Structure 1
Amino acid sequence: MKHLLFASLLLGSGLNAFSTTNIQYLYGDFEGATFMDTTQGAKQTVTAEHYRTFDYGDLFMFADYAYTHDGLQFTHKKNDLYGEISPRLSLDKIGGFSTSTGILKETYAAFQYNRGDKYHAWLYGAGCDLALPGFSVFGVNLYRKHQNIGDHTYQLSLNYYAPLADRWHFEGFTDWTARDILSQNQLLFDLTQTIGIKEGKLEVGTEWHYYHENSYHTDNDVFQAMLKYTF
């Protein structure tokens, strides 16, 4: 599986058809009982995201750098770095056939690698893109998740993008396992025209961050202020 993941990354880097990159700054009060929370006070996060398509699939990756003045809840570290890389190989394009029917647009072999300070996980499974009213993007991926902390499990991941009124849009993702659920959803307004930016796109808005851990019945429910620049 690792060899196939590596091969897909090589394809993604060499056969770029479309790509977009953005940098985000988020600020929110994460006081609580989960591993994502702070000992006290706010947390600042800088996120770099990249998405590209290629001849045989697509590739999404991100890295989060978080800082809190008084330290995180369990590690008491002031800084935290976490990232994921998620390549998918199109079964339609590799096989030379179409699975498009009804709301189903395309099917994939899906992979993911997660990495934190002391945590890592390999995920593999299947995914698809759906054509749903109101959404320009709606992806569904089901993975088998092997991780070095916690039990191996399955993960259902949804990602979505919906244009709203002029210069507004909604986007986000939801990850569900037997152990927990994480959902991050953003409502953003395009400032590009307002402040006369000639290159890239600057957006401002909010991210609703929700995390629930089943075993200990702990959660965090945080609205963060957000700036996003896409280039």
Structure 2
Amino acid sequence: MRIFLILCALFSSQSNSKVLWQDYRLTYLYGENYRLGEPTRQVLTIEHAAQTSWGDNFFFLDHMRFQDGNRTNYAEIQPRFSLAKNSHLNYQFGPVQDVLLAAHIEMSSFATNVLYGIGLDLAIPGFRFFQTNLYRRNNDKVADNWQLTLVWAYPFQIGEQQFLLDGFLDWASGSVDQRANLNLTPQLKWLISPHLGLESPLWLGIEYVLWQNKFGVADSEHLRSHERNVNVLIKWHF
């Protein structure tokens, strides 16, 4: 927690910070194979991603609707403080382009978890970006543990059609309260806005969720927590 407070102080000191690039996105998902709760859900997600003069930040809010009429919200915010941008030193070595102090806050009605650690921006041919972050998890209601997060975006074309394969991988270590768990969630999207005469990017595709021991709950015959879930998605950038 002490490291997280230091990180917050560093962010607040950037009184002359500038937004270099930002993007707003709205996504609709529909899936029928969710685990731990109702299997059929609709999810409306709003996202904001930004590159700034001090680093970068990503925020999203999930609004989930269930067949029984219940609704829940879940949000995350992920600021990262660039050592290269703020020290004016060169942190490049091999594929590493930058080293960052990383924070991550998970917020729901059940718990608020604070993660802090270090991140690397990697330059990998063909990828729009590739990030790796190693966190210490300061959990609200269970024992603390570790998390490794990878985030990527890989654009490609087939003929004149534009596609994007992006997503994330979270691996969290086990503890006395939970099992180690792996969440791999890629999205494969096709850019349909040019065919509709739209200037703002509009994507149609699928999201695949492979989640072993979801939420750290051990999978068993009596409680299935291994999730294999295909969601239909549509995403609008505005």
TM-score by length of 2: 0.86
Assess if the C-alpha contact under 8 Å between 1:8 and 1:88 holds in 2. Answer: no
Corresponding residue for 1:8?
A: 11
Q: Please report how far the alpha carbon of residue 6 of structure 1 lies from its aligned counterpart in structure 2 after TM superposition.
A: 6.2
Q: Residue in 2 aligned with 1:223?
A: 230
Q: How far, CA to CA, are the matches of 2:125 and 2:96 in structure 1?
A: 12
> C-alpha distance in 2, partners of 1:31/1:47?
17
Shift of 1:9: 6.6
Q: Which runs of 4+ in 1 moved over 2 A?
A: 1-14
Deviations 1:129-173 (A, max 9, x none): 111122111000000000112210011010000012141110001
Q: Does 1:47 align with 2:45?
A: yes
1:150 counterpart residue number? 142
**Does structure 2 conserve the Cα–Cα contact (< 8 Å) formed by 1:167 and 1:190?**
yes
Distance in 2 between residues matched to 1:6 and 1:227, nearest whole Å: 38
Aligned to 2:110: 118
Decide whether aligned partners of structure 1 residues 202 and 188 sit closer, same or farther in structure 2, where only a CA change above 3 A counts: same
- Alignment partners' CA distance in 1, 2:105 and 2:12: 12
Q: How has the CA–CA distance of structure 1 residues 20 and 141 changed in structure 2, closer, same or farther, with 3 Å as cutoff? A: same
- What are the within-5 Å matches in structure 2 for residues 1-231 of structure 1? 1-2=4-5, 4-5=7-8, 8=11, 11=14, 14-32=17-35, 34=36, 37-38=37-38, 41-70=39-68, 78-165=70-157, 166-178=161-173, 179-198=180-199, 200-213=200-213, 216-217=218-219, 218-231=225-238
1:183-231 per-position Cα deviation (integer Å, ceiling 9, x unaligned):
2110000011101113x11110000012111651221110100000001
Change in Cα spacing, 1:141 to 1:176, as seen in structure 2 (3 Å) is: same
Displacement, 1:10?
Answer: 7.7
1:47: how far off? 0.5
The 3 A distance-change label for structure 1 pair 118 and 230 is: same
Matched residue SS, 2:150: strand
Q: 1:10 to 1:169 in 2, by over 3 A?
A: farther
Q: Secondary structure at the match of 2:125?
A: coil
Superposition CA RMSD, Å: 1.9
* Distance in 2 between residues matched to 1:172 and 1:20, nearest whole Å: 16
Q: Report how many aligned residue pairs link the two structures.
A: 219
For structure 2, the 5+ residue unaligned runs are 174-179, 220-224
Measured in 2, the distance between the counterparts of 1:67 and 1:56 equals 36
Q: Which SS does the other structure have where 2:226 is aligned?
A: strand
CA distance in 1, matches of 2:42, 2:197: 27
Paired with 1:11 and 1:208, the residues of 2 have a C-alpha distance of 38
Could you tell me whether the CA contact under 8 Å between 2:17 and 2:54 is conserved in 1? Answer: no
